[in-house]
Amino acid sequence: MIFPPPLREGGLRGRVDYIPKESYEAVIGLEIHVELNTESKMFCACPVSFGEKPNTQVCPVCLGHPGVLPVLNGKAVEYATLIGLSLNCEVTEFCQFHRKNYFYPDMPKDYQISQYDLPLCVEGYLEVGEEKGVSRIRITRVHMEEDTGKLIHIGGSGRIHGADYSLVDFNRAGVPLIEIVSEPDIRSPEEARMFMQKLRSIILTLGVSDCNMEEGSMRCDANVSIRPVGQKEFGTKTEVKNINSFRSVQRALQHELDRHIDTIDSGDRVVQETRHWDDAGGVTTSLRSKEEAHDYRYFPEPDLVPLISDKPKVERMKKALPELPDARRVRLMEQYGLPKHDANVISLSKATGDFFEEVMETYEDARKVSNWILVELGALLNQANLEIDECAVTPRHLIDLLKLMDKGTISGKMAKDIFKESFDTGKLSSVIVEDKGLVQLTDEDAIGKIVEQVLAENPKAIEDYKGGQERVVGFLVGQVMRLTQGKASPDAVNRLLKSKLNNK
Amino acid sequence: MVSEKAITKKDVEHVALLARLALTEEEKERFTKQLGKILEHAGKIKEIDTSKVPPTSHIVPLDNVFREDKAGECLSQEEALSNAPEKEEGAFLVPKIV
Ligand SMILES: [Zn+2]
């Protein structure tokens, strides 16, 4: 029995009655940063590369030395435009960079070159949730900026609060960064995750970023609030930062929403603030900043001239966009006859889609392939916490396995075990089969003998069968498989069992 | 955006904080007056009718200037850090932030 908490005064907007959790609606907007994988930085010729020694991918421009001038990387603009177009955005006619002024040692200039009221792309949308009903999440803007340097805090267990001092590496400073801002149209943490997945899949399809959250080439901040279902006005929002893995998007948002509900239910008010997601602890904590209300004093970057949209070029780019996940989903259903669910999951990850289609180049049964990818491989990937393109199994491995099954060399049961071993070791199924002598028993005389043995040991089962209980066949098949260590061909076992039973 | 009303001591304190400047009481008073005078002077521009003049952010008649996406030479770590007042393990060392 669950008791509602006692009624309290001063809850949500003066309501005093208890509001059950289900009657709150989540209001979530996302701000996503994506590092572009151009060869050079946004405004200088330093290479964009990761894992180099600190402060070796720097020059006077990205170190903010006096007298230097930034020059815009044309490729970065092209990539940003592609992202905007694939999110159904308008490319603005007149676009300009602004300086965002703040004091923080991650930028040597004490300002970041960003965009303000004249971003590159505006007013797009992204659709998610094909299975339960499509939601259209509006995209407010897509803009360009330069990434900041990296700080390492020394002392105070590595957190900025309590650190003795900090070390700055400017290798990342000036790497082209795209900010994608959604409207607060997202209504659940699950929808937020789907949004992130779809966005990542689109950008990976465009090939303009690695979108690796763990490595920081894709980052997500979320604005979160709740309101009673049916209310139009937004509740007080908090901004959640440091959501730095794909798996934590849903967890972090769920936690923050629960915190809002608990706060309001206990009669308190949600404070508008920035909060830090602590992945290990599974909580958000307040990032009380000493700074007054943010005042970035944006002004037009005088060192960079405006961008005037080249309309025919933008039109050409729009026409030349690669096949995006939504279109791929539809095609997978049409071309391979995949069911909606399978097509949806496979198209939602570029790597999974590529894996599937690569198998389909040399194998025919689409349902079988999608089943193996989604069920068997999916379970193994989940367990190992890996992405499909990070594991040892390649399309070649799956084709090899499916063909062995088709030839009758191995049974379905054997295939699952062999596949697991392929996953763990990277060995091809045919190699595993040969190494271990794991060949399916198809010799009907041999199987027949075992069938006889099983029948002799189970007279009761034969009686039951004669009495019309066909279910016992399954039990008997299991006995034969056990005695042959799963190597007997299930077809042959079934056939032989039935004919022998009928002749008894 | 220049506000119509005169600049106050509070405005000066805010701007000083944003610029990380520690001002004495005497300086705050003095700068309040000086900044007020500067803004008053700049306010003269309002007497001109600019309704038909587009906002000017650049004085050079150029747009769409791009650089080819080619990686070039970088500074060495030693060079990069040569002006740093303090350094450690190849990084710039900065004092405690908060
Ligand atoms: Zn540089």
| Cα–Cα nearest to A51, from A297, A243, A216 | A216
- Give A439-475 as a DSSP string: --B--HHHHHHHHHHHHHH-HHHHHHHHTT-TTHHHH
| Range ranked top by mean pLDDT from A123-127, A293-297, A366-370 | A123-127
Question: For A73, which residue in chain B has the nearest alpha carbon?
Answer: B67
**pLDDT over 60 (residue B1):** no
| Cα–Cα nearest to A366, from A332, A401, A394 | A332
Fold type of domain B9-47: Histone, subunit A (1.10.20)
Q: Please tell me whether the interface predicted TM-score (ipTM) of this complex is above 0.95.
A: no
Q: Is A413 exposed, middle or buried (0-12, 13-18, 19+ CB in 10 A)?
A: middle
Q: Which CATH class is domain A444-502?
A: mainly alpha
| Cα–Cα nearest to A38, from B67, B22, B30, B40 | B67
Q: What pLDDT score was predicted for residue A15?
A: 38
Q: What pLDDT score was predicted for residue A423?
A: 86
What is the average per-residue pLDDT within B4-25? 85
pLDDT tens digits for range A12-64: 333 334 455 678 889 999 999 999 999 999 999 999 988 899 999 999 999 99
**pLDDT over 80 (residue A503):** no
Q: Which of A46, A167, A292 sits opposite B91 (nearest CB)?
A: A167
- Spell out where chain B has E strands: 66-67, 87-88, 91-95
Query: Who's near A164: CB < 8 A, 6+ residues apart?
Result: A154, A155, A156, B96
Q: How far is B86 from chain A (nearest CA, A)?
A: 10
φ/ψ of residue A499, rounded to 5: -65, -40
pLDDT tens digits for range A482-494: 877 777 777 778 8
- Model confidence at A289, pLDDT cuts 50, 70, 90, reads low
Amino acid at A399: I
Q: Around ion ligand 1, which residues have CB less than 5 A away?
A: A 44, 46, 59, 61-62
Q: What pLDDT score was predicted for residue A21?
A: 67
A347-366 burial: b if 16+ Cβ within 10 Å, else e: bbbbebbbbbbebbeebeeb
Q: DSSP 3-state assignment of A281?
A: coil
Q: Which of A56, A295, A307 sits opposite B74 (nearest CB)?
A: A56
Global pTM value: 0.79
- Model confidence at A293, pLDDT cuts 50, 70, 90, reads low
**pLDDT over 60 (residue A11):** no
**pLDDT over 80 (residue A397):** yes
CA of A151 to the centre of ligand 1 (A): 18
8 Å CB contact of A59 and B74: yes
Q: DSSP 3-state assignment of A376?
A: helix
Q: What pLDDT score was predicted for residue A438?
A: 66
Q: What pLDDT score was predicted for residue B87?
A: 93
What is the average per-residue pLDDT within A271-292? 79
Domain limits, chain A? 23-293, 322-425, 444-502
- Model confidence at A288, pLDDT cuts 50, 70, 90, reads low
A12 near A262, Cβ under 8 Å? no
To the nearest whole percent, how much of chain A has pLDDT over 70?
93
- Model confidence at A5, pLDDT cuts 50, 70, 90, reads very low
Distance of CA A8 to CAs A13, A248, A272, Å?
Answer: 12, 33, 22
pLDDT tens digits for range B35-69: 988 988 888 888 888 888 877 778 788 888 999 99
| Cα–Cα nearest to A72, from B62, B66, B57, B68 | B66
Q: What pLDDT score was predicted for residue A296?
A: 87
DSSP state of A92: P
What is the average per-residue pLDDT within A164-180? 95
Size of interface A-B (CB pairs under 8 A): 133
Best residue of B57, B73, B88 to probe chain A, by most A CBs closer than 10 Å: B57
**pLDDT over 90 (residue A171):** yes
**pLDDT over 80 (residue A156):** no
CA of B74 to the centre of ligand 1 (A): 7
Q: Which residues of B make CB contacts under 8 Å with A?
A: 14, 17-18, 20, 57-58, 60, 62-77, 80-81, 88-98
**pLDDT over 50 (residue A504):** yes
Q: Which of A166, A292, A305 sits opposite B65 (nearest CB)?
A: A305
